[in-house]
Amino acid sequence: MVDGAVAGAVFLYNLPVQAAYTPAHLPYIALVALSAGLCFAYIFRRDRPVGTFAVMALASFAQWLLGVIPLPAAIMLFFGLYNVASRCSRRVSVVAAGVVELGAVLAVLRWEPDPKSAGIQLFYNTIFIVSVWIWGYTIGTRRAYLASLEERAVRLERERDNQAQLAAAAERARIAREMHDVVSHSLSVMVVQADGAVYSLRSRPDRAEQALAAIGDTGRAALAEMRRMLGVLRDGEPEHDSYAPQPGMAQLEQLVEDVRRTGLPVELTVNGVPRVLPTGMGLAVYRIVQEALTNTRKHAGPSLSRAQVRLWYGQDALEIRISDDGRGAAVLPGDAAGGGHGLVGMRERVAAYGGSIRSGPQAGGGFAVVASLPLGAEVRDSSGRHTGAHDR
What is the residue extent of each domain of the chain? 2-111, 166-231, 249-381
Alpha-carbon distances of 365 from 301, 328, 330, rounded to whole Å: 12, 6, 11
| pLDDT of res. 380 | 43
The series of mean pLDDT values per 10 residues for the chain, 392 residues long, is 84 76 72 81 85 87 80 84 88 90 85 82 88 90 89 89 81 67 69 80 82 80 70 49 63 85 82 86 86 79 83 92 76 42 75 88 85 70 42 36
Assigned CATH topology for domain 249-381: Heat Shock Protein 90 (3.30.565)
DSSP class of residue 334 equals T
How many CB atoms lie under 10 A from the CB of residue 328? 21
| pLDDT of res. 379 | 45
Query: Residue 324: enclosing H or E segment and its boundaries?
Result: strand 317-324
For residues 154, 157, 159 and 162, what is the CA-based torsion angle, rounded to 10 degrees? -120
Start-end of H helices in the chain: 2-20, 28-40, 49-65, 75-87, 90-111, 115-200, 205-231, 252-261, 279-299, 342-352
Rg (CA), the chain: 39
Which residue in 273, 283, 350, 357 sits closest to 321, CA to CA?
357
β-partners of residue 270 are: 311
| pLDDT of res. 384 | 44
169 alpha-carbon distance from chain centroid:
20
| pLDDT of res. 322 | 92
| pLDDT of res. 334 | 43
CATH hierarchy code of domain 166-231? 1.20.5
How many CB atoms lie under 10 A from the CB of residue 129? 21
Q: Which SS3 state, helix, strand or coil, does residue 373 take?
A: strand
| pLDDT of res. 295 | 80
**Global pTM exceeds 0.75:** no
